Structure 1
Amino acid sequence: MNLTISGHHLEVTPALRNYVTTKLDRITRHFEQVVDIKVLLTVEKNQEKERRQRAECKIHVKGNDLFAESSHEDLYAALDELVDKLDRQVWRHKSRVQDHHHESAKRVM
């Protein structure tokens, strides 16, 4: 799994990088076929104060690309919302990929 964390108008500190990786472990624990994860953290100067910190993530899994974004006044809260959204998407994708068609039981005559 490739993990890319980048920041615009923001320095990605080791503590922030560690927080992102521990949060994304939840996604890889639910679905093992994650190929690539790209996280973009931004601080927008001209936005209103409540939605200034923004986190976006693009995940490439086997057979699909998933994208989510979240904004909040606190970057850590934005990351929490982002991981919740991605977890729901990955869970939905996993249930679609799994084979739900079982062979019917054969009748005994």
Structure 2
Amino acid sequence: MQISISGHHVDVTPAIRDYCNQKLEKLSRHHDRITSTNVILSVDKLIQKAEATVHVTGQDFFANSESENLYAAIDSLTDKLDRQLLKYKEKRSAHR
């Protein structure tokens, strides 16, 4: 799985990059066909934002989250993506 992390009005430090990689690697436990993940981290005054697009074979998933803390926004983002991937996986297995 390829993970690209970029920042908009924020410097992406190695600590933030490692934290994002660690959280997004957990998504591959639920779905093994994830090909790429694009994450955009941004700051708008006091609100930290995180957006991500996950490309699975044949499907794209998008999630965004906002928080006062960037790490909390990343946590919320991965939780949202995790729920979307689990729901997609259940739908695919139920239809077969």
TM-score by length of 2: 0.94
C-alpha distance in structure 2 between counterparts of 1:60 and 1:98, whole Å:
19
Aligned residue pair count: 96
CA RMSD of aligned residues (A): 1.2
The corresponding residue for 1:105 is none
**4+ residue stretches of structure 1 with deviation over 3 A?**
none
- Name the structure, 1 or 2, with higher relative contact order (CA <8 Å, separation 6+): 2
**For residues 27-61 of structure 1, what are the alpha-carbon distances to aligned partners after superposition, in whole Å with 9 as ceiling and x for unaligned?**
0111110011000000013xxx3xx1000000010
The corresponding residue for 2:61 is 66
Q: Percent identity?
A: 47
Greater helix share, structure number:
2
The corresponding residue for 2:25 is 25
Q: What residue ranges of structure 1 are gaps of 5+ in the alignment?
A: 102-109
Q: What residue ranges of structure 2 are gaps of 5+ in the alignment?
A: none
Larger radius of gyration: 1
